[in-house]
Structure 1
């Protein structure tokens, strides 16, 4: 049974190995042991903190394989993007231009630098191994972040967004960056990612990025074609997130032009479908096995000891309890009488 749980200091070596296999231009995890350790320590402190208003907290979850307790995936959620500055993105705008003398009216696609996503909660760092691609466990890992937000809504904003890696070539080059960002930063795409980082809230962006709308028709064709397109490694995340209720088209990343998906929590399936139930043991349920068994993502009801698994049980919509077998109780580190969050998969 795969388990999603908060990252621990003992996971540093495993995360180093995962970070080493990601493709050029796809930065889901820090690349150095020191930065990975910092990320883990921030996550541990965030889970332990008592939060009234979302701020600089970041929560990193890992997917643990049952065979040998190895880490095969990661997923993170940041409480408030740009909490120590501003989160910048390009907003897709349409500018109407009219000439009454020539009787001409047309629309022009433009990109406007904006900070509208600042303060939204941000999903990030989603990665699963090849063996877990397309499995329910991959969906569990992605959804577990939102299940934690259901459990502890005071820790997060009402709106969420997810930046996905854009199109890059085999060497990590980005046609969108080459057409736009390079003109202002005078550096390669990977160098800019390394210097400025993934936070998108550095002073350099304010100082160097254009503050006036960028007319998209003036960009080269390959740069226009890359806008809003995802890196092949991001297709799984894109499919899971759009099925969840996230939408694209409003914003793109200022570096590689990748799509930024966003949604209000009330439009997300996890928030709408989450059920809080009291746990009973499977042996105490005389009807177990008689009713059709459905698949649910189930997470523990404690925000300071969050864990999530996939299990099968009878439909829960009309019940106040959920009967869970002993191995699920052990995996979630819960006991009979505790509460859990259940979401139908």
Structure 2
């Protein structure tokens, strides 16, 4: 299993993956044309010299046993006008805002169910941070992430039931799809530019504003482990939380290490799991592999060196995977 940037040939696989995505994963729409556009933007962004022109990076997890795409993760430039509610206390209300929480955001994180529980969700998520660590010029000073909002024991989305249905004439899934296809036109056509007084909300909903859906709890724990913090902002459709972190504070970036990769042929040493990236831009690769750190060297099987497409002695970015929390999907 390894991580690489998305390619044109991945369109069919991504379309199948997107059709499996839950409501709330707006950055992975089940629309072939939109997915093709996102693939092209990601591929073009790998070769840019001008950071201002950078748009997005999509990384896919490839199963080496069958060549299939097992998961995806992404980073994208935030829109100049990004709408969300801000919780304010005077007066107690939700106020619609259109300023970005940060220049770039995490998204498109999804791992197929058959591959969960093996550390691959963490690899999908953290491989983005390994990439960012070596290409910080594209990402500004902060990142944010949007997570799916709280649902009641009945399985509905109370924020939508109490607020969304009063403002919009469509179902939540339809609105979510419209936002995924065109965030700018979605905002201009559908968003109601009105504050929402807190007394409109039931006590149960008010208490759970900014809380996550049960399926997003692993992703939330992973982000908190990475030193992302909760903000006063929530999603306009499901009331889900928006978290933010300074890039210099992100744990996986701060604790990753540059080491020389070497073959451990003939060396009997205790092995631990490491996340390893080849530090390349357009040829980026990352994997989760048994390895042993010996001073400034990382000893691995020769197959790992081949998988990363580097030569022995090359500089790689490495992160010990022990205790990693697996987050399977968000925004």
Q: TM tier, shorter chain?
A: 0.7 to 0.9
**Distance change >3 Å, CA 251–CA 153, structure 1 → 2:** same
> Match for 2:85 among 87, 90, 98?
90
Cα gap change, 1:210 to 1:52, in 2 (>3 Å): closer
Q: Matched residue of 1:117: which SS?
A: coil
> Which residue does 2:147 correspond to in 1?
164
- For residue 298 of structure 2, the aligned residue among 307, 322, 345 is 322
Q: Which residue in 2 is equivalent to 1:42?
A: 41
Q: Answer yes or no: is the 8 Å Cα contact 2:179–2:186 preserved in 1.
A: no
- Mapped pair 1:295 → 2:273: yes
- Please point out which of 180, 183, 191 is paired with 2:174: 191
Give the drift of 1:119: 4.4
- The TM-score with structure 2 as length reference comes to 0.86
**1:204-215 superposed matches below 5 A:** 204-205=187-188, 208-212=191-195, 214-215=196-197
Paired residue total: 321
Question: Hey, what does 1:22 align to over in structure 2?
Answer: 21
CA positional deviation for 1:15: 1.1
CA RMSD, Structure 1 to Structure 2 (Å): 2.7
Higher relative contact order (CA 8 A, sep 6+): 2
Unpaired stretches in structure 2, ≥5 consecutive residues: 322-331
Q: 1:236 is matched with which residue? A: 218
- In structure 1, the residue matched to 2:327 is none
Pairwise CA distance, 1:31: 0.8
**Mapped contact 2:151–2:158 kept (Cα < 8 A):** yes
Paired residues of 1:228 and 1:258 also in contact (CA < 8 A)? yes
- Contact between 1:295 and 1:344, CA under 8 Å: does it hold in 2? yes
Greater shift in the superposed pair: 298-307 or 237-246: 237-246
Cα pair distance change 1:217/1:133, threshold 3 Å: farther
Q: 1 CA distance for matches of 2:183 and 2:34?
A: 17
Equivalent-residue separation in structure 2 for 1:199 and 1:143 (angstroms): 28
The 1:22–1:125 alpha-carbon spacing in structure 2 relative to 1, beyond 3 Å, is same
Distance 1:326 1:263, change over 3 A: same
Q: Which has the larger radius of gyration?
A: 1
* The one of 128, 132, 139 aligned to 2:122: 139
Note the C-alpha offset of 1:168. Answer: 5.3
CA distance in 1, matches of 2:99, 2:251: 24
1:268 aligns with 2:268: no
Residues 112-166 of structure 1: CA deviation (Å, up to 9, x unaligned): 2224435421000100011222321110101011111001001112111111122
- Which of 276, 283, 289 is residue 311 of structure 1 equivalent to? 289
- Cross-structure match for 1:105: none
2: CA distance between counterparts of 1:109 and 1:25? Answer: 26
Higher mean alpha-carbon deviation, 18-27 vs 36-45, is at 18-27
TM-aligned CA deviation for residue 254 of structure 1 = 1.1
Q: Retained in 1: the 8 A contact 2:259–2:316?
A: yes
